[in-house]
Structure 1
Amino acid sequence: MWLRGVLVAALAALAAWGVHAAVPAIPLLTVAVVLGIVAGQIPAARPALAGALAPGLSVAAKPLMQLGIVLLGLKLSLVDIAALGWATVATTVAIVLTTFAGTLGLGRWFGLPGHQPLLIATGFSICGASAIGAMSGVVQAKDEETATPIALVTLCGTLAIAVLPFLWHPLGLSALQFGHWVGAGVHDVGQVVATAQIAGSAALAVALVVKLTRVLMLAPVIAVASMVERHHQAGRSTLLADNAPAASVNARGVAKRPPILPLFVAGFIVAMLVRTLIPLPEQVLNAADVVQTGLLAMALFALGTAVNLGTLLRTGGRPLAVGLLSWALIAALSLGAVHLI
């Protein structure tokens, strides 16, 4: 029943790969999200996306996304991160936490509904649309809550690819400083590569290590969010048991709660430790990278299909204002960190 939706997501991921191969400056995962958003706006496609293809798209957006996050851990070596020096690591973590708290506060101040403030904060501060997908699964966010943050982080990340290179020389940054700024301030890994590569291989290497240090924050942030969600659900468990749909209630009539440490977060940590402690062959790492990118592309296409631009436009400028302010906040904090180090 779910095979057709997964197959469509896989074909979309291949199409995104083709676009990226033809135009390497366009990040593959950004193309995948955009393809999903475009597909979601086609009136003739909506019945299939919401009907026959929905189970498979749900598999792509959740279990396959989580497997991709686990494999993302193989990109992280604690040795590489430690080589940045304590000052760079400390400022990077501080930027993530400050941006997360600031964006969460902005979202609530602007009155964004449901889990949108949390999802936007996660995506903008850590690693873009993939972080939003991971967080949405933990807090059991609705598709419409996830769609707007996905669209915003894709928009702002794409703007970063165009805007940041023009500011490189006017801001008086060296190539390595520019790479550090990009790694600390751009959302998605693919967007970081597309932006930093214009400054050379050394700048790109710095950008990637700084960016992956931010990705490392995904595990503790998701774990804390899971514990907070458990606490909130425990406080209203009786009400949920009486009123929640059957899918969210276990056999004894008690509302289900997320695990303290989601399994995919534990897998991410294990993969990171494996990369750090075991000298894996380059072929294995390359194969894992291909699979991880493909899984995330499928997941982001599936998440993109849930974006309804008409609904987004009718919400007014509040979500867009939060996204742009968060983007400006992380860019400014990252630039300040570059000058401090």
Structure 2
Amino acid sequence: MTQAVLVPDRAPTATRHRTGAGPGLLLALSVALLAHGVHAMIPAAHPSLVAVAVGGAVGLGGLASRVAAPGVAVAGRTVLRWAVVLLGLQLSLAEVAGLGPGVLVLAVVVVTGGVVGTLAMGRALGVPPAMRLLLACGFSICGAAAVAGVRDLADADDEEVSAAVALVVVLGTTTMLLLPLGLALTPLDVQARGVVVGASVHEVAQVVVAGGLVGGAGLGAAVVAKLARVVLLAPALLALRLTTARRGAADAARPPLLPWFVVGFLVLAAGRSLLDVPPPALAVADGVQGVAMAAAMFALGCGLRRETLRRVGARPVLLAVLATLLVLALALTGALLLR
């Protein structure tokens, strides 16, 4: 019976060199394509959500061998980072600005208040520093992409990253399904409901689904409001790194202020906003980004194991719930004030 070990750092070095990344990358790509096929048949089942669910089942069930571990590691790190880079081509700063200054201010309040508030609650709950930083950024900014961006700064290991992404997916999916129903009971119009969705739901994929459930102009408003939060990924990471640099000025091994893939994200976002990029090129880039993100989400799901869940404990789960409620409260209050 093949021994099931998915955490790449624990796979023997000789095995990694002998097998290479090919088998694991092929597995991740196959699952990503399968997830897109499921999405084509069931539009509400977004590829990233399907892929991370499959990865979680593989990880928790111990269904992958050491042979796949090196490629799964590449998918969970390098492929994820390139998916973040390509996410920049989905940003149009003109569309974000078109929602008006009020929505832009709301995005800043949600991201700033979400990160600061989650860090404070995590400290009060006794959640380890790495986990509370992963959750603060993942829940307040843009899910897995933000977790990837802050990973090195948090000095988080694979298990902590997988657990953080799993919490983002579970609570984000719950919010995705319940929030549109709750917003229907408020005095907000359809566009304002979409703004609340975009300002509070964690993943871009989840925002698309929830915005569709709101309907009408809600979908467009949700996506653009979410992209306003995504735009803040780079400034938020820069602020966190500068804060860390002041606290540890003597550390010569500090990482750069912005990871290379966040710089790439900014470059492509600027290019999309300033240049006339042909729609076919955008469509191809969007397709590649979707497959890459699904493959990365599968890999992150694979890192979720029973012993990881036991080690995570109840406090990070409670922090994740509180962070979700905090971000939602900020978004809803802001939307009501903007009426």
Length-normalised TM-score, structure 2: 0.89
Residue 322 of structure 1 corresponds to which residue in structure 2? 319
Q: What CA deviation, in whole Å up to 9, does each residue of 1:117-148 have, x standing for no partner?
A: 00001110011122212321454420121122
Per the alignment, residue 275 of structure 1 pairs with 272
The equivalent of 2:174 in structure 1 is: 159
Out of 287, 307, 328, the residue aligned to residue 331 of structure 1 is 328
Percent identity of the aligned residues? 39
RMSD: 1.8
**Distance in 2 (alpha carbons) for counterparts of 1:139 and 1:315:** 16
| Deviation, structure 1 residue 181 | 0.7
Counterparts of 2:152 and 2:72 in 1: how far apart (Å)?
14
Matched residue count:
319
Tell me how far apart the structure 2 counterparts of residues 331 and 230 of structure 1 sit (CA, whole Å): 31
Summarize deviations over 1:280-303 as a string: whole Å, max 9, x none. Answer: 111111111111111111111111
User: Does the 8 Å contact 1:229/1:257 carry over to 2?
Assistant: no
* Pairing partner for 1:13 from 29, 32, 41: 32
Give 3-state SS (helix, strand or coil) of 1:235's partner.
coil
Per-residue deviation, 1:233? 6.2
Which amino acid is the alignment partner of residue 257 of structure 1?
R
User: 1:247: which partner in 2?
Assistant: none
Task: Note the alpha carbon deviations across 1:154-199, whole angstroms, 9 max, x for none.
Answer: 1111101221122122122211111111000101111011111123
Flag the 1:5–1:231 CA change in 2: closer, same or farther, 3 A.
farther
Give the corresponding residue for 1:39. 58
TM-score of the two chains, using structure 1 as the length reference = 0.88
2:47 to 28, 49, 73: 28
Q: Find the aligned partners of 1:150 and 1:96 in 2 and give their Cα distance.
A: 18
Residue identity opposite 2:336 in structure 1: H
Instruction: Return the letter of the residue paired with 1:261.
Output: L
Q: Extract structure 1 runs of 4+ deviating beyond 3 A.
A: 137-140, 224-237, 313-316
Structure 1 gap segments, 5+ residues each: 238-255
Instruction: Report the CA distance between 1:232 and its aligned residue.
Output: 6.0
Is residue 262 of structure 2 the alignment partner of residue 265 of structure 1? yes
Asked if 2 retains the 8 angstrom alpha-carbon contact of 1:120 and 1:149, the reply is yes
Shift of 1:71: 0.9
Q: Given residue 289 of structure 2, which amino acid in structure 1 is its aligned partner? A: Q
The change in CA–CA distance for 1:266 and 1:131 in structure 2 (over 3 A counts) is same
Distance 1:202 1:114, change over 3 A: same
Instruction: Please name the residue that 2:72 is paired with.
Output: 57
1:34 deviation in Å?
1.3
Q: For residues 233 and 56 of structure 1, do their structure 2 counterparts lie closer, same or farther at Cα, with a shift above 3 Å needed?
A: farther
Amino acid at match of 2:254: R
2: CA distance, partners of 1:152 / 1:19: 23
Distance verdict in 2 for CA 1:229–1:35, change over 3 Å: farther
